[in-house]
Chain A
Amino acid sequence: MSEQSLLQVRDLSASVEDLPILYNINLDIKAGETHVLMGPNGAGKSTLGYTLMGNPHYNVTSGQILFDGQDLTNESADKRAKAGMFLSFQNPLEVPGISLGSFIRNAYHEQTGKPVKLLQYKKQLGEAMELLTMDGEYADRDLNVGFSGGEKKKAEILQMLMLNPKLAILDETDSGLDVDAVRTVSKGIQEYQKKKDGALLIITHSTKILESLHVDYTHVLVKGHIVTTGDGSLVEEINEHGFEKYVRCEGCDGCSPLK
């Protein structure tokens, strides 16, 4: 069974308010692999992330999402999270009254159903925050309230490290960050990669964050279609040449790409 993919996306099409965004997406991610999803603005990259995680605003019109042997296509987001999926948000939620630390503890408890061992948890949290160069007091601050853009992204990566999912989908985690912050976030992702079977789907339209990461596969999404898939070197190529060669004619909604 080791050959079976952790995530299997089969002919997935999705729409938002009856507007089709994704067409026949096929994607296989095995445990321990790092996949990168690139594409120009408006290609549907974030839609794919949200659809995989089960955002009710996005409707799956056809196809299937299989995860760890389970069909999650119609499951709510919390079921997917409990199954081991994680999505880092571009604009994470702000909750006055619940601290970051307490929120993660709650999430951990909900996912595992086990009581949290406080000392061990605090130690782990402290280490992860240190890795992400987050001041310890952030754990006591209200979840994302008054956080800068960079701090919010770090708080998302912190949750990923603490919740330890089987698959982490990182949605534009690098956007709007300065060089130092990208490096820090990247360090957090590397830490996650160290765990042998942790899989990653990194959604990005730039390549900065990928510089120090090992990438197994790269997918290019254009106008809702995966138009090409390659290995890590594709990132380099796009870095140099951009998406031009993959961008298809105006108004195209489904002809076979790159013929």
Chain B
Amino acid sequence: MDLKMKVNHLPALTYRFLKSNDSEIDAKDLYIENTKTPDPLDIPEGVSVKSDASEDDIRDIFAKVNAKIEAKKTDIPGPNGDTAPLNDAQTVRTGMGVEIDKLMNEMNVKSLVITSEEGRKVTEPVHIKYDLKDGDCTLGSQVIYAKKDSEITVIMEYDSEPEGKGFLGLQTRLLAEEGAKINLVKVQMLSEGFIHFDDIGSVCDDNASVDTINMQLGAGNTWGGNRTALLGDASTFDNHTGYLCRNKQSYDMNYVADQMGKKTQSNMIFRGVLLDEAVKTFRGTLDFKAGSAGSVGDEQEDTLLLSPDVINRTMPVILCGEEDVDGRHGASIGQLGDDTLFYMESRGIDEEAAKKLMIRARMESIARMIPDEAIIVRIQQFIRTII
């Protein structure tokens, strides 16, 4: 099959010449053979796993929160160029949008549902690993469902044969019920012959939280979406993304914190490095809906540009329909600063070594948050092999 679809819509459109209002996935001759998510390596106590869930099953899981979302709608107009209506048909709004739902539906992809029991704080991670071979074309869908007052950690790792070519497209949807917490870690170390998308959509009810860590280190072209609806009061969303793009790699992302409840908190951090002819588009939106009184949101983007041929697009959006909020966005984009370089050099570390050190530092500062030593070591090794 051929894929041609528009994803990662900026929540509020802007000038067309910036070419960042959305992104097109255009991939030809894909033969999707596998749509089943691999079984978790082991299933800790307090966690249950169900495969082959239909979209109706998923709708049932999200029915309660979706009704609550519906009830919260107000008459306040959306932003100029509002793209939210495009994704109205989604079961759960995700970063990449409705086209992913359509694709999964068309390809009859069933979901793997991972559920944590009410009141159970499960510390041991659920580990899902994709080990892809040359030529593999895979779609997958997962739902992580943390019932009331439970906690669950899921680590998803994508590896492939070093020179392999292929496709991996995933959608992961999260529901954190009242007082629940979901930690989701995604580590992508595919070879450059892979096309990859990774779409996340979450809903947090009262006092719930979602904490995501994304390490994007491989694949030739990557699309990533991550949207969290902070539906409940005092719900929180934390995200840390680290990415390293080199050669002709591209990474196109769309992150949205949809702050609906009172006293919600979002905190999104992005640290990246662009080398060679890499292209990156970052969209990050804090969306304070009317009624989100007392909410705070913070987005920080820090990008190191290490080649004259990179392209860096950054769209840091703040939408606001509520008076009592505090939102901020900061971005710092550029090469190694003179002061940084001088300090490094004064310790005998020359420019080339300083660059490598800073690349590793950036990636490690995110990677080390992953609660699995073995993966951190694999990330370190992967980075060492590419720089």
Q: Interface on A for B, CB 8 Å cutoff?
A: 53-57, 76-78, 80-82, 86-87, 89, 92-93, 95-98, 103, 106-107, 110-111, 142, 159, 163
Contact = CB atoms under 8 A, between A and B. Distances in A.
A81 to B, nearest CB: 4
B14 interface: no
Interface of B: 338-340, 342-351, 353, 357-358, 360-366, 368
Residue with the greatest number of chain B CB neighbours at <10 A, chosen from A86, A103, A106: A106
B364 A110 contact: no
Of the candidates B346, B349, B366, the one having the most CB atoms from chain A within 10 angstroms of its own CB is B346
B342 A55 contact: yes
Contacts of B360: 97-98
A78 B345 contact: yes
Contact of B345 (A54, A98, A103): A54
A77 B339 contact: no
A110 B346 CA distance: 11
Contact of B338 (A56, A98, A110, A163): A56
Contacts of A53: 342, 346
Per DSSP, chain B at the interface is helix
Given A56-B338, A57-B338, 4 more contacts: A78-B349, A97-B363, A103-B347, A111-B347
A107 B349 contact: yes
Contacts of B350: 76, 78, 110
B156 to A, nearest CB: 22
B349 A110 contact: yes
B356 to A, nearest CB: 9
A163 B347 CA distance: 8
Contacts of A76: 345, 350
Nearest to A145: B365
Contacts of B349: 78, 81, 106-107, 110
User: Which of A54, A78, A86, A92 has its CB near the most chain B CB atoms (within 10 A)?
Assistant: A78
20 contacts: A54-B346, A57-B338, A76-B345, A78-B344, A78-B346, A78-B347, A78-B348, A78-B351, A82-B348, A95-B340, A96-B361, A97-B362, A97-B363, A97-B365, A97-B368, A103-B347, A107-B347, A107-B348, A142-B365, A159-B347
